Amino acid sequence: MRSLGERERTSHQHASGARRGRARAGEGRAPGTGGDRSPPDPALAPLLAQYRAVCPGRDEHELVRGYRVAERLHRGQLRKSGAPYITHPLAVATILAGMGMDTATLVAALLHDTVEDTPYTLGELRADFGDEVAVLVDGVTKLDGERWGARAEAETFRKIVLAAAADLRVLVIKLADRLHNLRTLGFQPREKRIRIATASHELLVPFAERLGIRVLQREMDDLAFAARDPAAHAAAAEAVAAALARVPAAFGPAIGRIGPALRAQGVSAETSVRARHLYSVHRTRGGDVAGLRPCEAARLLILVDGPDTDCYVALGAVHSVLHPVPGRLRDHIALPKDNLYRSLHTRVVSPDGDPLEVIIRSRSMHPLAEYGIVASVREAGDRAAGREVAGRRDLVWLSRLLAWQSAAPSDRFLDGLRAGLAPGTVAAFTSRGRMITLPAGATALDFAYALADGTGERSIGALVNGRPAPLSVELRTGNVVEVLTGPAAAPSADWLDFAVTAHARMEIAQALARSRAERSADAGRRGLREALAGRRVDLLAAEARGDALAVARDLGFGELEELYAALDAGSVRLPDLLERLAPG
């Protein structure tokens, strides 16, 4: 998949010619798709080992078959590193196998570049591997750059978002694909490394975060960080390593108090220290990592063995022995994040006076916290994985993307996507208790448009926590918002100064464009009516007879309003219309 230009492939001309010849002869179709049960290629060993470890007892034949097809189709293609190209789809499938993805996803990962880069067609793939695999491969296949031109990148991402609406596994494959490309980014020229890394931080890492796949998000974050700013990455790595070396002394006294407190409350739990990833530390410190303390480089994680309610008992136990910092408790169990993440976060003061971050979750919450939507796939198993992932409609961020993406023109789509995926969220509520999640910095106007019932365009103000507020007021998590509307209200151009979400901005821009078109059509019609009146011709009668519409169609306009707007804009001359409607 060559999205954002990361393809690392070169081809031997004689191999390419041979593949084209086989395709013309009808031999390019899925070589090796029969009942071949010969021993698998040794190169498959890492993939099969991961598959057996996470999914013991499943039939490996489809993986072997998918690999053999991909290997033969990509034969002769090389990565920029000089390695055979098959090493890339094999690595992508191995990443996904280690996460516990289902067999169909792994087969699709092995085949994900065949339709784009070989004579193998999507129809042939569907016939050989079935609809499920074909849908996944099609979802991640890059659009033809020659056909789409400058719009190819934006339209490829639009295609991925649409495919994700049917099956989120498309995004998971895309993320694993990008992760492997980031791992091998050193073989690319510096300018291309920076471009790919920047795009990863702006678009792909946020997708990983929104799907809750922390294991991918952390590594992608750090690899992109290293490519964009090697010096800052090295400084962060050195500072974090030094801080982690002091973790036992810094965290030991706190852990020594927490253990007995949990046992006293009858809570069985495991307490461990979790290091933060480098880019997170760098961003939190604003790039200045000098003097980094252990409490800034790591957090305490408490995994509770019992039911979810024991997490709150554990929280009380922690607060009973370590002083809590006011205002720093976040309950993501009662109020899960957009990506369904559930945990309690609190900040306490250690016996030595340092503030410590403590995360508390049950063991049943842990897989979802680390693997997000992938945990659902793992639980569903092969037979139900597609239905499980396709049916997740509780991911609010995806619904929000889908609400506006189909109408966004190519030149605005990627900017809107970046804004929609920007880090940070606000959870505000309607007066009836419905939660609306919005990006950080969102306003009451964004809230109004998020209601998706026409409220946005009729807005005139808001009540925030019962108090009057302008539509430009920035919302905070926990705010209760009531949008005030008026029957004659309409969007104004200054709304674009404080609307944050891509959906709101798109709706406002479209409403303003419609309003301008209507004003222009009215002005053009008024000018034509007055000119025709001077020739004793009634425009209303000409419209009723169909004469005006016939003239509009003859000039290439589908509707009268388009003709009148063109007249106002000067692209249609008034004397020409008069000659047609009132000759002589």
Would you please indicate which residues are annotated as catalytic (active-site) residues? 116-117
Q: How many residues does the chain have?
A: 584
Angstrom distance (rounded) from CA 269 to CA 567: 76
H-assigned helices in 477-584: 502-533, 539-545, 547-554, 560-569, 574-581
For 462, what's the count of Cα atoms within 13 Å in the CB-facing half-sphere?
27
DSSP for residue 201: I
Angle at 570 between CA 569 and CA 573, to 5 degrees: 140
Cα end-to-end distance, the chain, whole Å: 64
Query: Alpha helix (H) ranges present in 366-464?
Result: 366-371, 373-390, 396-405, 410-420, 444-450
**Are 411 and 157 a contacting pair, CB within 8 Å?**
no
Contact 502, 408 (CB under 8 A): yes
- Tokens 């002869």 correspond to 25
How far apart are the C-alpha atoms of 40 and 207, rounded to whole Å? Answer: 34
Report the alpha-carbon angle 160-165-171, nearest 5: 45
Token pair listed for 7: 């393809």
Q: At what angle do helices 169-183 and 152-166 cross, to 10 degrees?
A: 130
Cα gap 312→331, rounded to integer Å: 10
Q: What's the chain's Rg over C-alpha atoms?
A: 29
Structure-token pair, residue 12: 């031997």
